[in-house]
Amino acid sequence: MAKKRFTPAEVTEILDLLRKEYPEATCALDFGTTFQLLISVVLSAQTTDVSVNKVTPGLFARYPDAFALAKAGQDDVIELIRTIGMYKTKSKNIIRLSQELCEKHDGIVPEDYDALVALPGVGRKTANVVLAEGFGHQRIAVDTHVFRVSNRIGLADEKDVLKTEYALMDILPEDRWTEAHHTIIFHGRRCCSARKPGCETCVIAGLCRKVGV
């Protein structure tokens, strides 16, 4: 049986409550340039932002831009990012990604979704994060927290990431997509956990559909 759809007023109330609860919600990755943002997001796949932030200072000190990283040896990059998951594949991807940026985009990160996802190691979520954080576009990047929380509370009713993204784009006001991405992630980390959601302290408990709890 399909879940009852939230009204626009209810959606606004949910977003307002989450923004008030998590005013500091923003991108948790440390970066200085759009290139460094892109590399950080690629490295963050299936690992924590905290882990990525521990390795990127050393990585960016040695390879601050696409031109430098394009010339890097994979073994050298592996040594710098060894503590994060999938470091062999990621080291290969970020070197090749940098090479393609130099060959096709003059070393500059493109402000274009199709161009971004054509780069090695860059998927839909990564492209959306880069467009949102690097260029100020309104985007919904669906990670594990956004997927779980949005379907649990009833903002979406989907079984896969892509359909969840489309559902959120449909129900959320476009000028708050990026904000919602961040606050839902914070809510998933701090309250609406996978195994034991903190419903007793949840700021949106009165609106939540409590699906699967």
DSSP 75-117: HHHHHHHTTSTTHHHHHHHHHHHHHHHHHHHTT---S-HHHHH
- Any residues with CB less than 8 A from the CB of 13 and at least 6 apart, and which? 207
Instruction: State how far the Cα of 103 lies from the Cα of 105, in Å rounded to an integer.
Output: 6
Least reliable range by pLDDT among 32-36, 128-132, 164-168, 207-211? 207-211
Length of the chain: 213
Residue 65 is predicted with a pLDDT of 98
143 is an active site residue: yes
Residue 5 is predicted with a pLDDT of 87
Out of 125, 157, 159, 210, pick the active-site residue: 125
User: Is 90 exceeded by the pLDDT of residue 33?
Assistant: yes
Domains for the chain: give ranges and CATH numbers: 8-26+140-201 (1.10.1670.10), 34-135 (1.10.340.30)
16 is an active site residue: no
- Any residues with CB less than 8 A from the CB of 163 and at least 6 apart, and which? 156
pTM for the whole structure? 0.91
Residue 1 is predicted with a pLDDT of 43
Residue 114 is predicted with a pLDDT of 97
What average pLDDT does this structure show over 130-143?
Answer: 96
Mean pLDDT over each residue of the chain, to the nearest integer: 95
Out of 16, 65, 143, 157, pick the active-site residue: 143
Sign of the alpha-carbon torsion through 73, 76, 80, 83: positive
User: Is 70 exceeded by the pLDDT of residue 213?
Assistant: no
